[in-house]
A and B are shown apart, each in its own frame.
Chain A
């Protein structure tokens, strides 16, 4: 099993540009999570999906952020327009449905907005 796959691993962009982060969950997992990690704010849950349906997006910072999960094997997190304060490591994680199932994290995407 390849684990959770994220791309790109690193992204450097200029303020105002659109950024798209991609995630492929572990095959068979029904839940997918997007997290953001910064020194100041720690590890924050942005949004999560169950069976491709968004369940809780209360962590999404503002309208500049959007996430989709068109099928069970792919999800995107888009920032448009990007700002320097969006610089962070973005993790995608997946798990099976259920109360006690481990979340498996991807390697993360390090985003730098200049």
Chain B
């Protein structure tokens, strides 16, 4: 099955700084790369995603970059705010086709301090 790893597992930044989380995957057939955010006690929610034919996508303060050759993609958060504190999961999609099976990484706990 797909092997998905996230680094770092925990990340502490000061408000206003940038945060970068990296996700590596093993399935070269993966073609969809979402990031989910889970606040404490809440459900995971999609924050940004990218398809394999695109190298970078940006949405306000968050961006995702993809390196298909190296099989990794990264989440970038700029001008971090306390409400960015959460656990972030990458979830590359395996088995391209009509089935949309996501394999979630182990998560990165981001703490934004004042």
Contacts and interface: CB of A to CB of B under 8 A. Distances in A.
Interface secondary structure of B, over-half rule: loop
A99 B43 contact: no
Interface in B96-114: 96-107
- Among B43, B89, B99, B107, max chain A CB count under 10 A is at B43
Interface residues of A, number: 24
Contact of B98 (A42, A91, A98): A98
A107 B105 CA distance: 20
- Among A58, A95, A102, max chain B CB count under 10 A is at A102
A102 B103 CA distance: 14
Interface in A20-76: 31, 35, 42-45, 48, 50, 55-56, 58
Contact of B102 (A42, A50, A103, A106): A103
Given A100-B32, A108-B43, A48 B49 contact: no
Contacts of A43: 44, 89, 104, 107
A106 B93 contact: no
A95 to B, nearest CB: 6
Interface secondary structure of A, over-half rule: strand
Contacts of B45: 105
A50 B107 contact: no
A99 B100 contact: yes
B34 A105 contact: no
Contact of B107 (A42, A95, A97, A101): A42
Contacts of A103: 46, 100, 102
Given A98-B98, A105-B43, 6 more contacts: A35-B104, A43-B104, A45-B102, A97-B100, A100-B51, A108-B43
Interface of A: 31, 35, 42-45, 48, 50, 55-56, 58, 91, 95, 97-103, 105-108
27 contacts: A31-B99, A31-B100, A42-B105, A42-B106, A43-B44, A43-B104, A43-B107, A44-B104, A45-B104, A55-B99, A56-B99, A58-B1, A91-B43, A98-B98, A98-B100, A99-B31, A99-B93, A99-B97, A99-B98, A100-B49, A102-B46, A102-B49, A103-B102, A105-B45, A107-B42, A107-B43, A108-B43
